[in-house]
Structure 1
Amino acid sequence: MPYFAYKARDARGELVRGVLESADSGAVATQLFNTGLTPVDISETTRPAGGEGGWLSRLAEQPVRSIDVQLFSRQMYTLLKAGVPIMRGLSGLQESAINKTFARVIKDIRDALESGRELSAAMRRHPAVFNAFYVSMVRVGEMTGRLEEVFLRLHDHLEFEREMKARVKSAMRYPMFVVIAMAVAIAVINIWVIPAFSQVFAAFKAELPIMTRMLIAASNFTVSYWPYLLAGIAGALLAFRGWVGTANGRYRWDRIKLRLPIAGTIIQKGALARFARSFSLSSRSGVPVVQALSVVANTVDNAYIAARVEQMRDGVERGESILRTAVTAGVFTPIVLQMVAVGEETGELDELMNEIAAMYEREVDYELKTLSARIEPILIIGLGILVLILALGVFLPIWDLAQVATKSS
């Protein structure tokens, strides 16, 4: 439907501006009258609600963070549990929101609700703020009448996601610092150190070892063609991002990530923890298994595992058991498959999925705590190889030249 920019007067005569989505200008006028506003001007526009301002103002907008959505979920649970009408609750959240961008999103949700839309449909208009899983769970809450419970579980789910990302960042901070320091050291050696030594070696006109000649050649290439090297690296990064942006590229890269040493295990366990937690949440909220698997596939944050979850959904649609489809997927450990079998037999799959999620979360927590300790030997070996190359390429010729000078004297 088209968007209409409107100007209207409220009961106190104050001018109100906004943008609404409706079938025509008459429907917009009717909606404004129903909300106590007298329309002054209504004109069609291509800009959706919340898009006021030019591109420069949108560029300077504060993005909506996951913590904003998490707090919103907790506040909605508290308000709905206390019996506060949803429109009044959203009005209060809009006024108290610290993030102005999120306040505009809440305002747009209120406008959509006033026009007769459902809450899930209003949230679907903002995919950058509310992902497909969030919207689907809100939709389930509307259908089952357990919206406040769904918001509480969404808060817990977002808390888990945020904690996992924070742990990964904390664990990768030290290795990334060491890698960056090594890269800077290699650049400094290539651009400044080796050229100075090469002038000394050239003055003696002596035959240099193969390692020294390789280092000098690499240094000369870096000094002469560094703009092209930087352009090549930037082009490769852009090409990689473009490839990962495609469906096939994302699928292949996510599959490769699962096979990486050390990191692959953490990525797989983290994705399966999200799967188990989301599936448990969906089941407890009364979502049918087929629909739950469709919703959960959006939460694993890995295209390869998501495709396997969708494969499970197709198998369940054909009448196969969850256990058989999970075995065919080939991404679950035997312990998990055993717990799925017990849960399916006893009818307590949601409880056991919750335990699976907790188990994976504990394993991920342990893996992240020991990540630095496991990466440290690799970094030490890399640093040792770098020092060895420099020793053989730079200091060995100096030692040979010193011996020649001693013998000649």
Structure 2
Amino acid sequence: MAVTRSVAKTNAPARQGVNLNTFVWQGTDKRGVKMKGEQASKSANLLRAELRRQGITPTVVKPKTKPLFGGTGSKIKPKDIAIFSRQIATMMKSGVPIVQSLEIIGSGNKNPKMQAMVNSLRSDIENGSSIHEAMAKHPVQFDELYRNLVRAGESSGVLETVLETIATYKENLEALKGKIKKALFYPAMVIAVALIVSAILLIYVVPTFEEVFQSFGAELPAFTQLIIAISNFMVSWWWLMLIIVAGGIGAAIYAFNRSPAFQHAVDRAVLKVPVIGQIMHNSAIARFARTLAVTFKAGVPLVEALESVAGATGNTVYEKAVLRMRDDVAVGYQVNMAMKQTNLFPHMVTQMTAIGEEAGALDTMLFKVAEFFEQEVNNAVDALASLIEPLIMVFIGIVVGGLVIGMYLPIFKLASVVG
């Protein structure tokens, strides 16, 4: 019979920074049972030695071939890190050693990039690095906040509990981000489709009607003339408009990623948009409260926690406000007093924070604040979906319906004259 099995790690000493490759192998055990599997190793010879040590006689050991398309795998997404956090937390909570946990997670992951990262973590930890030091080599996947929490868990001896807290935090954060994306994606896509349909009508359909109208010899309605003029412009300059739109979007994305001032201006403008702005306010407060609660509960000092939390709010306006709070707390202000100075946090948030500080249960109160505002975001997104659907229908009716009416006005006028 054939059995798929992941072989335990080799005990041979490894040099820090050595890259591991994935090999597929086949062999037989002492009973003659055929076996096969995949294993990360530094070389085929080391893997053969490891298999023999486990009582398996290898017959085939070769590098795992990459697929023709997508061989490098998809990039590592925040959702992948959330799943990884839950997996590692569950295994360590069950008593599985960290190295063995990483081996199990790495061998079972379908994304080659994620698998390579997990194997790299395992290799570094085997070589004597702490977990947060191993994660520091992957700053894109494990940001400063994540590493600070892990470091606090390692130093206080409650790493399993901290990892479980991180996993819950990541899951809630991804759920919140998913809600916001859902609120923004649907209307944006419908409006984009409506504009594309309108462009197709103007470039391909309207010129056909124009030829028919010219045969009438009569003066066209002003609205129809306007549509024909727009159509002629689109037919002649569609390429220029495409360049302008694509260039504008590219320039905006570039400026947003490279210019802190532009990013701050955009974030501030988004917060002032009706309905959407309130959702973004509530989202930033929820992320701030949950992140600060998690870091404070993990034992990270408050000033250091506020510095880590600032970048997790998802909005530069709140990021700068939290950094101001950090400076105020560093000179002796209470957190609730520092909050009030920013003029961004609702009265309920500052009051619950004050109560938490007085009772010595700041993290508990902040978790309650996070839960409340996450529910507010959920309710607002559901309400926005109900509100925006009729508005989208009106928009489509005005744009597409206006084009259709403009093209048929001359026909209606001709019919009334003939009648």
TM above 0.5 = yes
Rounded to whole Å, the distance in 2 between the matches of 1:395 and 1:272 is: 52
The root-mean-square deviation of aligned C-alpha atoms, in Å, is 3.0
Task: Summarize deviations over 1:66-105 as a string: whole Å, max 9, x none.
Answer: 3432232233223333444333333333333333322211
Rounded to whole Å, the distance in 2 between the matches of 1:73 and 1:181 is: 38
- TM-score between the two structures when normalised by the length of structure 1: 0.81
User: Which of 240, 243, 264 does residue 252 from structure 2 map onto?
Assistant: 240
Letter in 1 for 2:409: L
Comparing 171-180 with 61-70, greater Cα deviation is found at 171-180
Corresponding residue for residue 117 of structure 2 = 105
Cα deviation for residue 363 of structure 1 reads 0.7
Corresponding residue for residue 323 of structure 2 = 310
Contact 2:16 2:127 in 1 (8 A): no
Corresponding residue for residue 164 of structure 1 = 176
Cα deviation for residue 208 of structure 1 reads 2.7
Rounded to whole Å, the distance in 1 between the matches of 2:198 and 2:192 is: 10
Cα deviation for residue 192 of structure 1 reads 2.4
Number of residue equivalences: 366
Contact 1:190 1:222 in 2 (8 A): yes
* Cα 1:57–1:208 shift into 2, 3 Å: closer
User: Which of 269, 275, 292 does residue 262 from structure 1 map onto?
Assistant: 275
* Cα 1:11–1:69 shift into 2, 3 Å: closer
Rounded to whole Å, the distance in 2 between the matches of 1:139 and 1:84 is: 19
Rounded to whole Å, the distance in 2 between the matches of 1:273 and 1:189 is: 45
Corresponding residue for residue 361 of structure 1 = 374
Question: In the alignment, does 2:303 pair up with 1:293?
Answer: no
User: Which of 69, 82, 90 does residue 102 from structure 2 map onto?
Assistant: 90
Corresponding residue for residue 190 of structure 1 = 202
Letter in 1 for 2:174: R
SS of aligned partner of 2:332: coil
Comparing 206-215 with 396-405, greater Cα deviation is found at 396-405
* Cα 1:69–1:224 shift into 2, 3 Å: same
* Cα 1:172–1:81 shift into 2, 3 Å: same
Task: Summarize deviations over 1:126-168 as a string: whole Å, max 9, x none.
Answer: 1222122211211111222211111001110111122223334
Equivalence map 1:135-284=2 (5 Å) = 135-172=147-184, 174-246=186-258, 247-284=260-297
Rounded to whole Å, the distance in 2 between the matches of 1:326 and 1:170 is: 30
* Cα 1:75–1:224 shift into 2, 3 Å: same
Unaligned stretches of 5+ residues in structure 2: 1-9, 20-41, 48-64
Rounded to whole Å, the distance in 1 between the matches of 2:89 and 2:174 is: 19
* Cα 1:310–1:365 shift into 2, 3 Å: same
Contact 1:211 1:392 in 2 (8 A): no
Cα deviation for residue 58 of structure 1 reads 8.9
Contact 2:198 2:400 in 1 (8 A): no
Cα deviation for residue 254 of structure 1 reads 1.5
Comparing 269-278 with 105-114, greater Cα deviation is found at 105-114
Rounded to whole Å, the distance in 1 between the matches of 2:17 and 2:109 is: 20
Corresponding residue for residue 381 of structure 1 = 394
Corresponding residue for residue 322 of structure 1 = 335
Letter in 2 for 1:156: T
* Cα 1:143–1:396 shift into 2, 3 Å: same
Cα deviation for residue 333 of structure 1 reads 1.2
Corresponding residue for residue 131 of structure 1 = 143
Unaligned stretches of 5+ residues in structure 1: 1-9, 22-31, 38-52
Letter in 1 for 2:255: W
Letter in 2 for 1:228: L
Cα deviation for residue 388 of structure 1 reads 6.0
* Cα 1:173–1:254 shift into 2, 3 Å: closer
Contact 1:138 1:147 in 2 (8 A): yes
Corresponding residue for residue 333 of structure 1 = 346
Equivalence map 1:14-29=2 (5 Å) = 19-20=17-18
* Cα 1:199–1:323 shift into 2, 3 Å: same
Equivalence map 1:111-122=2 (5 Å) = 111-122=123-134
Corresponding residue for residue 410 of structure 2 = 397
* Cα 1:400–1:354 shift into 2, 3 Å: same
Rounded to whole Å, the distance in 1 between the matches of 2:369 and 2:358 is: 16
Cα deviation for residue 174 of structure 1 reads 4.4
Task: Summarize deviations over 1:150-204 as a string: whole Å, max 9, x none.
Answer: 1001110111122223334444564345323312321222012221222222223
Letter in 2 for 1:379: I
SS of aligned partner of 2:227: helix
Rounded to whole Å, the distance in 2 between the matches of 1:339 and 1:104 is: 44
Letter in 2 for 1:143: S
Percent identical across equivalent pairs? 33
Task: Summarize deviations over 1:105-127 as a string: whole Å, max 9, x none.
Answer: 12222232244332112101112
Rounded to whole Å, the distance in 1 between the matches of 2:147 and 2:172 is: 18
Cα deviation for residue 230 of structure 1 reads 1.2
Corresponding residue for residue 80 of structure 1 = 92
SS of aligned partner of 1:370: helix
Letter in 2 for 1:333: P
Contact 1:279 1:353 in 2 (8 A): yes
Corresponding residue for residue 64 of structure 1 = 76
Cα deviation for residue 262 of structure 1 reads 2.0
Contact 1:211 1:389 in 2 (8 A): no
Contact 2:264 2:317 in 1 (8 A): yes
Contact 1:197 1:394 in 2 (8 A): yes
Rounded to whole Å, the distance in 1 between the matches of 2:264 and 2:194 is: 31
Rounded to whole Å, the distance in 2 between the matches of 1:127 and 1:229 is: 40
Cα deviation for residue 327 of structure 1 reads 1.1
Contact 1:132 1:298 in 2 (8 A): no
* Cα 1:281–1:389 shift into 2, 3 Å: same
User: Which of 360, 372, 378 does residue 347 from structure 1 map onto?
Assistant: 360
* Cα 1:191–1:146 shift into 2, 3 Å: same
